[in-house]
Chains A and B, each alone.
Chain A
């Protein structure tokens, strides 16, 4: 325990150091409008870099991510809406770039399957509980009854 208490600050500090080194890879942008800055942040955090396997474009120093950030910045300045910016990227780089795929014909299974499984499981539980409720214990045979009686008697005599 004491060891953990000693090591914890060191660990936290090293995490902090990694974070600051990484932040240097992505350019800093100036925004006059804080709302637009917020939109820029959430857009760049919600899109996946096409060449890195799992990194948002706000966190990646791949050239293509830089180009995508530039384009998002430009489109925001032109007054394009968030949905249109997402569509703009999907039209060029595919659904892959969205961390949350849109709900449409092709992605119905993706979004619907978890909900469908929960409903299916609930129906199964209800069915099982119902069938158990009506079930009664089978009557004991004469032989079982005498054995039971013998066990009870033994318990009493001891």
Chain B
């Protein structure tokens, strides 16, 4: 009898493997961790969207204050939809926000801020994907949480819903502030 039960072992093994692989089917391949997690925010030297003469670099993120960095573009509909959430984070929760105007023209970027509001302290102008490439950005919107020492602590791909602000962004902000 005992030996008979042993014959079931391969079947049990197969079922366990199937269950494991079946879970993989419902995973979203875009929800993967950024390669830059727990690493320094990359070095850059770019003009701001607001003024072509003002140049900013990494020191923007090493002044001891936690910053939420949002990559956006005027051409990106999801970015427009998440603007109310970002404004809420900046004004109601006092989170310092920096924008990256990504693959856009200055004119369209400024028009976007005029129309949908501007939660950002400053916007880094990155029309040629210089900083975006260093950050491994593959589509807008993407959001990075950078701690006071300039280290990337959290990464969100895609649209941020009001629920995600409560359940994901705010807890991370509390954790790293």
Contact = CB atoms under 8 A, between A and B. Distances in A.
B105 interface: no
B103 interface: yes
A50 B138 contact: yes
Nearest to B42: A92
Contact of B33 (A51, A53, A94): A94
B134 interface: yes
A94 B103 contact: no
A85 interface: no
B91 to A, nearest CB: 32
A90 interface: yes
A92 B135 contact: yes
B136 A94 contact: yes
A96 B32 CA distance: 9
Contact of B133 (A62, A67, A96): A67
B36 A63 contact: no
B163 interface: no
B32 A51 contact: no
B35 A92 contact: yes
Given A53-B29, A67-B133, A71-B133, A90 B35 contact: yes
A14 interface: no
B139 A64 contact: yes
A71 B32 CA distance: 23
A111 interface: no
A94 B29 CA distance: 13
B34 interface: yes
A99 interface: no
B129 interface: yes
A95 B136 CA distance: 12
B34 A51 contact: no
Interface in A50-92: 50-51, 53, 62-64, 67, 71, 90-92
Say whether chain B's binding surface is mostly helix, strand, loop, or mixed: loop
A93 interface: yes
Interface in A89-116: 90-96
B144 to A, nearest CB: 13
A49 to B, nearest CB: 8
B29 A92 contact: no
A51 B133 contact: no
Given A63-B103, A67-B129, A94 B135 contact: no
Interface in B95-135: 103, 129, 133-135
Interface in B123-177: 129, 133-139
Contacts of B138: 50-51, 62, 64, 93
A51 B29 CA distance: 9
A145 B8 CA distance: 34
A2 to B, nearest CB: 42
Given A63-B103, A67-B133, A71-B133, A94 B139 contact: no
Interface of A: 50-51, 53, 62-64, 67, 71, 90-96
